[in-house]
Amino acid sequence: MVIISKLQLHLSKVFLMIFLRDRQSIFFSLFFPVIFMTIFGFVNNDQQEPFDIGVVKKSDSVVAADFVQQLKDNPVFNVTIGTEDLLRSELRDGNQTLVMVIPETFNAADLDQQSTELRMLVDAAQLAQLGLIQPILERTLIEIEREFRETEPMFSVVIEDIEARSQSYLDFLLPGLMALTLMQLSIAGSGYNIIEFRRKGILKRLFVTPIQPKDFITAIVMARTTIVLIQLVILMTFAVLVLDVQIIGSFAAFFFVVILGTFIFLNIGFCLGSIAKTQQAAMMVGNIVIFPQIFLSGVFYPIESMAKFVQPLASVLPLSFVANGMRDIANEGVSLLAIAPSLIGIFAWLVISYLLATRLFVWKEIAN
């Protein structure tokens, strides 16, 4: 059973007061993530811009006219009718995503006798967009064929969303951004503060008092965990109420992962403060630890979308386990048991970081 002494509580209050007196730290810790999230809220909306497609209509048949009309009626497309030369030029200039050429044989009589090919002119840079457009075009052509052959489809698929919700990029981003925030606050709160306390002579004065290393470490952990939890509650409340971000999982499970992640990065911060003797050295070592995780831990986009050779490394970073666990709970509503792989990784990093921190953090050497 863990017992918090009055001395540890008093020290944690002192560390909290030191934090609250630093306006710059308050801004970057409490308000900057909210501003960052707001910017993403305005920049990333869920409305997909329509694809610009050009249509060269060489057939005057009813079938061709019906097909073109269905394309125009589809909000996914912004259709431009024109000559092949004109639309080719617009495609080269990037004003069209693709150009479709409807041949003269695109009519009911010819369709009944043989298959008719539609030519699609694409720019190699737009091949990713083609993967989204082609299925829609194929479905439209199938509907046209059924209409003129007067046949009913053999099968139909009805999709029912049992969660009755849509997920935006902000829903994906929020857990990752919160994980990133707790990492930065925790590493800065333990590592950078130790160096600053050493520079100001605070650690030397504490060393000659009855305060034990465990009291010092416990107080920092309590103070920084409190700051992290306050920050994440502010960020979550703002995202839910203002940006309409949806969180469907258990808050207890979510903050359980948050606290474990905070302990990991506090330990990493203690290692950083033990190794680096100056703020400049701490910044350099801290960047080596933090920056790879910002871009490789799936904070802003899924790890699965990264290059194959990067994924094995990215998937075992501590921030990856924390961010994935928080995201699965927040977005999918899963239980702690369902995120067992992430929890195993979190506990593994918790043990590794604790062993490193206790080995490197020597009170006498740190104070001098």
Beta bridge partner(s), residue 18: none
Task: Render the burial of 282-315: b for 16+ CB within 10 Å, e for the rest.
Answer: beebbeebbeebeebbbbeeebeebeeeeeeebb
The domain limits of the chain are 6-44+168-367, 51-149
- Report the pLDDT value the prediction gives residue 342, as an integer from 0 to 100: 93
- Report the pLDDT value the prediction gives residue 154, as an integer from 0 to 100: 43
- For 51-149, the fitting CATH number among 3.20.20.410, 3.40.50.261, 3.40.50.300, 3.40.1710.10 is 3.40.1710.10
Contact 104, 59 (CB under 8 A): yes
- Report the pLDDT value the prediction gives residue 160, as an integer from 0 to 100: 47
pTM across the whole model:
0.64
Contact 289, 187 (CB under 8 A): yes
DSSP-derived pairing of the beta strands 51-57 and 119-122: unpaired
- CA-to-CA dists, residue 2 to 5, 222, 224, 304, angstroms: 10, 13, 18, 40
Spell out where the chain has E strands.
51-57, 77-81, 98-102, 119-122
pLDDT in tens, the chain (368 residues): 456 678 878 888 887 887 777 777 777 766 777 777 777 666 655 555 677 888 888 888 877 888 788 888 888 788 899 888 898 888 888 888 888 888 887 776 655 556 667 788 877 665 556 666 767 777 776 776 666 655 554 444 444 444 445 567 778 888 888 888 888 888 877 787 788 777 777 777 777 777 777 777 788 888 888 888 888 888 888 878 877 777 888 889 999 999 999 999 988 988 888 888 777 887 888 888 888 898 888 888 888 878 888 889 999 999 999 999 999 998 888 888 999 999 999 999 999 988 888 787 765 555 55
- Report the pLDDT value the prediction gives residue 151, as an integer from 0 to 100: 56
- Report the pLDDT value the prediction gives residue 340, as an integer from 0 to 100: 92
168: exposed, middle or buried (Cβ count in 10 Å: 0-12, 13-18, 19+): middle
- Report the pLDDT value the prediction gives residue 161, as an integer from 0 to 100: 45
Place of tokens 């952990």: 221
- Mutual angle of helices 251-275 and 340-360, in 10-degree steps: 30
> Which residues are within 8 A (CB) of 96 and not within 5 positions of it... i.e. 6 or more apart?
52, 53, 54, 80, 87, 90
